[in-house]
């Protein structure tokens, strides 16, 4: 029975509209920053990516713990979607950061604590994603990736606190109270857009994982069973 | 050198373009994968006589 899914597509459309509005505001309406000039406009896309990456990674951790506790396939499907999305967001974060680093720090990359810990996170989740493709047995695959996700998640608080614990080129986190309104509007609109878009995409990706598993563990077609009986 | 960054619009456009391409590409891949998986499952269900 075909199950209709409309809501995730509505989220994707709303998210895209928010991202377009926020980006227009950030590029054309918001003023240039006093010291970084126009390059600071990268913040309106880089910071929402960082915030959503942290949320998606935390969601992946929750899914992994829930799967290990309840052994329910729905948590494994959500975990698969969250792991893949984490890889995409961490990769994007590294690329955006690198593009911002060149005009402000003078280099594309530096083995700074924040950049290094994010790169480790990218490698860890890319490895977990690869692990899922190597294991054929569904229960073993779900259990191993849940355990690997919990281990990989250890790096998330290290990424967050890296700028406080060590001397870092990367600036410390700014709070909502320390950013003026002109900068805050595009930042929050883009963040809302990223959240809506990713929620929609992850819901569809989890549904795909469910369909693939159903096919993987489904019994053989009736025609094959009947043919086998006739042969016997 | 006065510590103030001037210009840099090419970096801004590059960051936005890369973000748009990566996000749009991934969204398209996920949506395409979903429809492919659904078609494949429907074929399987027909094969089982459901």
> Is residue A192 in some structural domain?
yes
d(CA A77, CA A202): 10
Secondary structure (3-state) at A180 = coil
Which of A183-192, A221-230, B17-26 is least confident? A221-230
pLDDT of residue A82: 96
Residue range A153-202, pLDDT digits in tens: 998 899 888 877 777 777 777 666 777 888 889 999 999 999 999 999 99
CATH code assigned at A161:
1.20.120
Q: Which residues pair with A33 in a beta bridge?
A: A37
| Full-model pTM | 0.88
In terms of Cα–Cα distance, which of A214, A223, A180 is closest to A73? A214
Contacts of A61 (CB under 8 A, 6+ apart): A149, A150, A153, A156
Number of separate domains in chain A: 1
> Is residue A127 in some structural domain?
yes
As given in the structure block, the two tokens for residue A59 are 């969601």
The phi and psi torsions of A75 (rounded to 5 degrees) equal -70, -35
- The pLDDT of residue A127 is above 60: yes
The mean pLDDT of chain A is: 87
> Is residue A119 in some structural domain?
yes
A68 at interface of B, judged by CB pairs closer than 8 A: no
The DSSP code for A36 is T
Nearest Cα residue in chain A from B19: A92
The verdict on a CB contact (< 8 Å) between B5 and A39 is: yes
CB-CB neighbors (< 8 A) of A41 in chain B = 12
A38 at interface of B, judged by CB pairs closer than 8 A: yes
> Is residue A1 in some structural domain?
no
> Is residue A173 in some structural domain?
yes
Binding-site residues on chain B for chain A (CB distance < 8 A): 3-9, 11-12, 14-16, 18-19, 22-23, 26-27, 30-31, 33-34, 37-38, 40-42, 44, 47-49
* Chain B: closest CA distance from residue A156 (Å): 22
pLDDT of residue A105: 83
CB-CB neighbors (< 8 A) of B22 in chain A = 88, 91-92, 95
pLDDT of residue A225: 61
To test the contact with chain B by mutation, choose from A32, A33, A39, A213 the residue with the greatest count of B C-beta atoms within 10 A, namely A39
Chain A and chain B share a number of CB contacts under 8 A equal to 99
As given in the structure block, the two tokens for residue A132 are 């899922």
Residue range A65-94, pLDDT digits in tens: 999 999 889 999 999 999 999 999 999 999
What DSSP letter does each residue of A85-113 carry, written as one string?
A: HHHHHHHHHHHHHHHHHHHHHSSS----H
> Is residue A15 in some structural domain?
yes
CB-CB neighbors (< 8 A) of A213 in chain B = none
CB-CB neighbors (< 8 A) of B48 in chain A = 218-219, 221-222
Contacts of B17 (CB under 8 A, 6+ apart): none
> Is residue A2 in some structural domain?
no
The verdict on a CB contact (< 8 Å) between A45 and B33 is: no
Cβ atoms of residues A105 and A115 within 8 Å: no
CB-CB neighbors (< 8 A) of A104 in chain B = 5
The verdict on a CB contact (< 8 Å) between A41 and B12 is: yes
In terms of Cα–Cα distance, which of A101, A129, A127, A128 is closest to A114? A101
In this structure, how many other beta carbons lie within 10 angstroms of the beta carbon of residue A163?
18
d(CA A193, CA A228): 54
Q: Which domain holds residue A76?
A: 7-231
d(CA A82, CA A39): 31
In terms of C-beta distances under 8 Å and separation of at least 24 residues, what long-range contacts does A170-174 make, across chains too?
Answer: A170/A112, A170/A113, A170/A114, A170/A115
Question: Could you give the ipTM of this predicted complex?
Answer: 0.85
In terms of Cα–Cα distance, which of A46, A78, A73 is closest to A60? A78
Nearest Cα residue in chain B from A199: B27
d(CA A217, CA A138): 9
Q: Of A27, A99, A219, which is closest to B14 when you measure between CB atoms?
A: A99
Residue range A96-126, pLDDT digits in tens: 999 988 888 888 888 888 888 999 999 999 9
């Amino acid at each position: 029975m075909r199950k209709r899914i409309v809501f995730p597509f509505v989220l994707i459309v709303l998210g895209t509209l928010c991202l377009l509005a926020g980006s227009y505001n950030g590029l054309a309406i918001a003023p240039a920053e006093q010291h970084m000039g126009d390059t600071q406009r990268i913040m309106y896309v880089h910071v929402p990516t960082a915030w959503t990456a942290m949320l998606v990674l935390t969601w992946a951790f929750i899914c992994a713990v829930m799967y290990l506790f309840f052994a329910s396939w729905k948590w494994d499907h959500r975990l698969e979607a969250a792991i893949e999305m984490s890889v995409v967001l961490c990769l994007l974060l590294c690329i955006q950061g690198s593009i911002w680093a060149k005009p402000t720090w003078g280099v594309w990359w530096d083995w700074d604590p924040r950049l290094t810990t994010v790169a480790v996170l990218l490698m860890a989740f890319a490895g977990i994603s690869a692990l899922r493709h190597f294991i054929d047995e569904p229960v073993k695959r779900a259990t191993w990736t849940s355990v690997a996700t919990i281990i990989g998640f250890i790096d998330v608080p290290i990424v967050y606190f890296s700028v406080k614990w060590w001397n870092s080129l990367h600036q410390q986190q700014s709070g909502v109270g320390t950013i003026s309104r002109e900068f805050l509007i595009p930042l929050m609109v883009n963040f809302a857009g990223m959240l809506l878009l990713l929620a929609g995409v992850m819901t569809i990706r989890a549904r795909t994982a469910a369909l693939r598993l159903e096919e993987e563990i489904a019994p053989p077609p009736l025609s094959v069973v009947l043919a086998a009986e006739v042969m016997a | 050198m006065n510590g103030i960054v001037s210009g840099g619009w090419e970096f801004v456009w590059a960051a936005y373009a890369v973000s748009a391409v990566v996000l749009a590409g991934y969204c398209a891949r996920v949506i395409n994968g979903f429809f492919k998986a659904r078609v494949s499952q429907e074929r399987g269900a027909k094969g089982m006589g459901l």
